[in-house]
Every structure is written in structure tokens, then in C-alpha cells.
């Protein structure tokens, strides 16, 4: 089985053209994502046919659970598909069907090569029942840390907290899984911790549902930007620096969130196991 490993701001996935092949994809994601015995990734992304868009993106986390949407993953998805002539973008971009809805990806080029993309990520969902979460503006405490949470869905659930402590020193490896599996999140949650560095500049780390800490999270960055704007921490545009790189997010308080960031191919190979 041919595969390609790609990354967007360090958020890495294994990509497979699944239009003419079948497999136990959740199990394959678990095995290929293993960083010791597999390829090593945050999950598996499949290229599939769509009846409503140019292509369909099917995403599995490293633990085999299926995800609704991946902002860094969809940029690399578009690069993979366009550079291999699987699909050609229109003047408006490449349309991609996801479990979170249809997303439009506009590639950015350096000569003939795609180096990144701008993605229309959809409108944020703030109604608690639709995130889903059972409470709103929760004054959350975990392991002695005060972590007031803001809840946003970008087609997948996020809990965002702004903290004074430097995110680099925060024990995300112990607190993150406890927040992810807290009973108030019926479908678990992605958890973001954020520092406000300056107007329009934030630093964050992300604990991703089903994958653990990742170097970046596109939907997480969008959720952070929405929460930051609603909380008065930024204006319509913000740069969010994550361990793997910086993503630029735009949201004017209405309509779709726009995300811009890199897309890089790492290597290709053949999975024989």
C-alpha cells in the first residue's frame, strides 16, 4: 500500500489514496501512526471520492477514532491531490467534503510547488449543545490549576483556556487527557492552553482528542482565535504560534473563520505490514 507522509506546522499525517482500495482503516491508523513500530504520525488521512465536492477527506486519529475535521491536514490533503493530478482547483479553490461540512482550500505557490494554503474553515459553533458540552463558560479546575474554559466547535469540539503561566512549562501531558475525557464532554474534547503575548499574537499548545499533544492543530487555532476575539484578546486577525509553527487566523466575529498556513511533503513509502 503506497503512502505519503505530510505535515502542516508539524501536525503530521499519513496520506493514502483510498479511492480504489479498502482496508481496516482505524486499525491501520493505529499501526501506521505508532512512532516506534509504524510510520509515525498524528493519524491517517484518506483521499476518497465525493458526490458533493471535488474530493472527500476521511480522517482517523492516532488511536483509530474518526475525526470530523483537521485544519492542518486539509491543507496537505489539497497539496497531495493537486500535485498528483487527482483533482484540479477552480478559481475559487478545491472543495473538500469532510464530516464537518464542505471546506474550500485555496493553495499558495512558490513557482510550481504548493507551499501552503488558505482554508475557509466554516463558521464557529458556540451553542453548548452543538459543541457538544453540557455547560457554558465553565470555571474549570484540574490538578490545582484554574482553567476557565471557553467552548467552541469548528465541526469538532474544543475547550480553550487563557493562562498566565507560560504554556511551555504547563504539564499538558497530565492535565490534557483528564480534560479530554471529562464527563461534561460526551464526545471528548480538544484542549488548548493559550498565552496572550501581544495584540494579535498568541502562543498555544494543544492536546488533541485521540492523538495526544500535537505540534499544531488547525481547528484548534481557529477555536483559539474565536475565543480570543470574543474575550477581547485580539481583533479580526491573529497569529497563533504553536510548537510546530505559526498559523494566521482571520475572523471578523461573523461568518467563516479563515486559516492560512504551510503544507509540506515529508516522504513517500510502501506499507507492507
Q: Is 222 a catalytic residue?
A: no
DSSP secondary structure code for residue 159 in this structure: E
Helix (H) or strand (E) holding 27: helix 25-33
**At which residue does the C-alpha cell 461534561 appear?**
184
Distance separating alpha carbons of residues 96 and 142, to the nearest angstrom: 38
Q: Decide: 89 and 22 in contact? Cβ < 8 Å.
A: no
Residues 6+ apart with CB under 8 A from 112: none
Give the integer Cα–Cα distance in Å for 9 and 263: 7
The x, y and z cell numbers of residue 231, run together, are: 474575550
Contact between 219 and 183 under an 8 Å Cβ cutoff? The reply is no
Q: Could you give the CA distance from residue 126 to residue 129 in angstroms, rounded to a whole number?
A: 9
Other Cβ atoms closer than 10 A to 41: 25
Q: Measured between alpha carbons, how far is residue 43 from residues 7, 255, 257, 265 in Å?
A: 11, 29, 24, 15
What's the sign of the alpha-carbon dihedral 16, 21, 25, 28? negative
- Kindly state the cell numbers that stand for 262: 504551510
Residue with cell 480538544: 190
User: Catalytic one among 76, 217, 222, 234?
Assistant: 217
Determine if the peptide bond prior to 102 is cis (ω within 30°): no
Distance CA(248)–CA(163), nearest Å, equals: 21
Name the DSSP letter for residue 170: S
* Catalytic residue chosen out of the listed positions 70, 76, 222, 234: 70
* Catalytic positions: 70, 217
Amino acid at each position: 500500500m503506497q503512502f505519503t507522509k505530510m505535515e502542516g506546522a508539524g501536525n503530521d499525517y499519513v496520506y493514502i489514496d483510498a479511492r480504489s482500495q479498502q482496508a481496516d482503516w482505524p486499525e491501520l491508523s493505529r499501526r501506521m501512526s505508532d512512532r516506534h513500530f509504524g510510520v509515525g504520525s498524528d493519524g491517517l488521512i484518506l483521499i476518497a471520492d465525493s458526490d458533493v465536492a471535488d474530493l472527500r477527506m476521511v480522517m482517523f486519529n492516532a488511536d483509530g477514532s474518526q475525526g470530523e475535521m483537521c485544519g492542518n491536514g486539509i491543507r496537505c490533503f489539497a497539496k497531495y491531490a493537486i500535485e498528483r493530478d487527482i483533482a484540479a482547483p477552480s478559481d475559487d479553490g478545491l472543495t473538500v467534503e469532510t464530516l464537518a461540512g464542505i471546506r474550500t482550500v485555496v493553495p499558495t505557490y512558490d513557482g510550481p510547488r504548493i507551499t501552503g494554503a488558505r482554508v475557509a474553515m466554516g463558521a464557529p459553533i458556540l451553542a453548548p449543545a452543538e459543541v457538544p458540552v453540557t455547560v457554558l463558560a465553565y470555571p474549570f479546575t484540574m490538578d490545582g490549576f484554574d482553567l476557565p474554559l471557553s467552548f467552541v466547535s469548528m465541526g469538532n469540539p474544543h475547550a480553550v483556556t487563557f493562562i498566565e503561566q507560560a504554556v511551555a512549562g504547563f504539564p499538558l501531558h497530565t492535565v490534557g487527557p483528564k480534560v479530554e475525557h471529562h464527563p461534561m464532554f460526551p464526545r471528548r474534547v480538544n484542549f488548548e492552553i493559550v498565552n496572550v503575548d501581544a495584540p494579535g499574537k498568541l502562543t498555544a499548545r494543544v492536546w488533541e482528542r485521540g492523538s495526544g499533544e500535537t505540534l499544531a492543530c488547525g481547528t484548534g487555532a481557529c477555536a483559539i482565535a474565536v475565543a480570543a476575539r470574543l474575550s477581547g484578546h485580539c481583533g479580526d486577525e491573529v497569529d497563533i504560534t504553536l510548537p510546530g509553527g505559526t498559523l494566521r487566523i482571520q475572523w471578523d466575529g461573523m461568518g467563516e473563520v479563515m486559516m492560512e498556513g504551510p503544507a509540506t511533503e515529508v516522504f513517500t513509502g510502501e506499507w507492507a505490514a
